[in-house]
Amino acid sequence: MGVAARASCRPIGTVGAVRIATWNVNSIRARIDRVTEWLDENDVDVLAVQEIKCRESQFPFAAFEERGYEVHMHGLNQWNGVALISRIAAEDVQIGFAGQPSFRDVVEARAIGATFDGVQVWSLYVPNGRELDDPHYAYKLEWLRVLREDAAGWLAADPDAQIALVGDWNIAPLDSDVWDVAAFAGKTHVSAPERAAFSAFEQTGFADVVRPFAPTGYTYWDYKQLRFIRDEGMRIDFVLGSPAFAAQVENAYIDRAAREGVQPSDHVPVVVELPGDDDDRPMVF
């Protein structure tokens, strides 16, 4: 786990909305310029990233440090990997969640959590599943089951806890979350067990805090067959918030423009805004 210099972190309580974002960057080294330029333009306080595809020794810490961000990351090899990039000091950093399942005897780098002035943010890269008869599919469902049980325990222990489960969920929970649901018949991401696993988080008390503000729109477009140009995408990146967190969200959006240009990720950022100290509602940060 790497950490940038904390002295440069943004002071807590700065006037203005607090922004928390999630983005599957599909290789932090390949997209470092795009990610840092996006941070420069979007005034984000906490960015959860997935699929960083690198070990700690390979992570481009300096590019974030010089912008006043600290980094906590978990990456084992050229696959998977997650990180939290923030200009608010992180506390209680956790690598993985309790009982996180392994795949072929490896507990993959798919989850990292930290608390930012009372708000617990988890960067999650849910397993893909591959095919319905693949062992990776059973692994995906088990991974989600254990995470849901842990999350339920957090809420049971503290119903007022502010928790955000953010990242690439690799599930399209609604038919409208894929460009053509018929094209996904018999495939992962839309199967009934996967959708039930996603719904289980909602039944536990977590809410999709983005959809009320952005009811339509995709977050992922395959590189193949001009999917982005044709808007043949999927909505698989989400921010699920506990009741206390959801109550604070005052805006949310999907930044579709981040998929344009040269060498983009196949995913785009999803952003939520919380009140800053110019708001007379209860403070989050």
105, part of any domain: yes
What global pTM score does this model have? 0.92
The CATH number of residue 181's host domain is 3.60.10.10
Buried-exposed string 80-117: b where 16+ CB fall within 10 A, e elsewhere: bbbbbbbbbbbeeebeebeebbebeeeebbbbbbbbbb
Res 117: pLDDT: 87
232, part of any domain: yes
Give the chain's residues under pLDDT 50.
1-15, 279-285
15, part of any domain: yes
Residue 7, number of CB atoms within 10 A of its CB: 8
Buried-exposed string 186-201: b where 16+ CB fall within 10 A, e elsewhere: eebbbbeebbebbebb
Rounded to 5, what percent of the chain is helix, strand, coil?
25, 25, 50
Short-list 85, 72, 88, CA closest to 11: 88
Res 123: pLDDT: 98
Q: Is 182 exposed, middle or buried (0-12, 13-18, 19+ CB in 10 A)?
A: exposed
- Report d(CA 221, CA 178) in Å as an integer: 10
282, part of any domain: no
Q: Is 231 exposed, middle or buried (0-12, 13-18, 19+ CB in 10 A)?
A: exposed
| C-alpha 149, offset from chain centre | 19
Strand pairing category for 18-24 and 46-50: parallel
114, part of any domain: yes
Count how many domains the chain has: 1
Please list, in sequence order, all residues whose beta carbon lies within 8 angstroms of the beta carbon of residue 223, skipping any fewer than 6 positions away: 266
285, part of any domain: no
- Taking CA atoms, 137 is separated from 100, 130, 187, 191, in Å, by 15, 6, 10, 10
- The residue segments making up the domain with residue 35 are 6-274
31, part of any domain: yes
281, part of any domain: no
SS3 54: coil
Res 269: pLDDT: 98
- What single letter denotes the amino acid at residue 62? A
